């Protein structure tokens, strides 16, 4: 698969990708939040033949660190390196900008869910380490904070 990563905003594609990932993004209000964020936050798009197949949004809470606010790839493209390419582009930009650590929050393993087990496997395969799990941080269940040293 020939994937190109671009820095651009595509809220409509973000909406469409989230809509076909109901096992991860099943709360309409939360999805609307992400669609608005897709217009405002630093946004990376994965394109195949001019179609957006993946999106990642980045937060910079502090100059030395970054946080993946959202990463989502359309199901047909899962396992084809699209998520890795999005991460690689973000990490290269963060390193060039002097950041040392990348954070992501995801659903913790104490909530049994096949989809999020695959999500954690992806982050782990790309070098993220589990840091701490919190209950009730941004939803009723467990949130796992993962971090990746960049330099």
Residues that bind ligand COA (CB under 6 A): 21, 24, 71-73, 78-84, 106, 118-119, 121-122, 125
Residue closer to ligand COA, measured from CB, 33 or 98? 33
* CA atoms of 99 and 62, how far apart (whole Å): 9
Place of tokens 């990348």: 102
Residue closer to ligand COA, measured from CB, 63 or 114? 114
Residue nearest to ligand COA (CB): 83
* CA atoms of 98 and 108, how far apart (whole Å): 29
User: In what order do the strands lie in the sheet containing 129-135?
Assistant: 4-7, 42-48, 51-59, 65-73, 101-107, 142-149, 129-135
Residue closer to ligand COA, measured from CB, 92 or 98? 92
Q: What letter does residue 39 receive in the DSSP assignment?
A: H
The minimum distance between CB 98 and ligand COA, in angstroms, equals 25
* Residue (of 94, 96, 107, 38) closest to 66 by Cα position: 94
The minimum distance between CB 39 and ligand COA, in angstroms, equals 19
Residue closer to ligand COA, measured from CB, 21 or 37? 21
Q: What letter does residue 72 receive in the DSSP assignment?
A: E
Residue closer to ligand COA, measured from CB, 98 or 125? 125
* Residue (of 128, 136, 131) closest to 111 by Cα position: 136
The minimum distance between CB 84 and ligand COA, in angstroms, equals 3
């Amino acid at each position: 698969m020939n994937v190109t990563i671009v820095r651009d905003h595509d809220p409509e594609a973000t909406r469409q990708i989230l809509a076909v990932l109901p096992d991860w993004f099943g709360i309409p209000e939360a999805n609307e939040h992400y669609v608005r964020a897709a217009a405002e936050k630093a946004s990376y798009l994965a394109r195949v033949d001019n179609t957006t197949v993946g999106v990642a949004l980045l937060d910079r809470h502090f100059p030395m660190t970054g946080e993946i606010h959202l990463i989502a790839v359309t199901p047909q493209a899962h396992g084809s390196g699209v998520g890795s390419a999005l991460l690689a582009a973000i990490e290269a930009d963060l390193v060039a900008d002097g950041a040392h650590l990348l954070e992501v929050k995801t659903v913790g393993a104490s909530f049994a869910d096949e989809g999020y087990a695959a999500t954690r496997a992806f982050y782990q395969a790309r070098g993220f380490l589990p840091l701490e799990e919190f209950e009730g941080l941004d939803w009723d269940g467990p949130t796992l904070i993962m971090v990746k040293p960049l330099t």
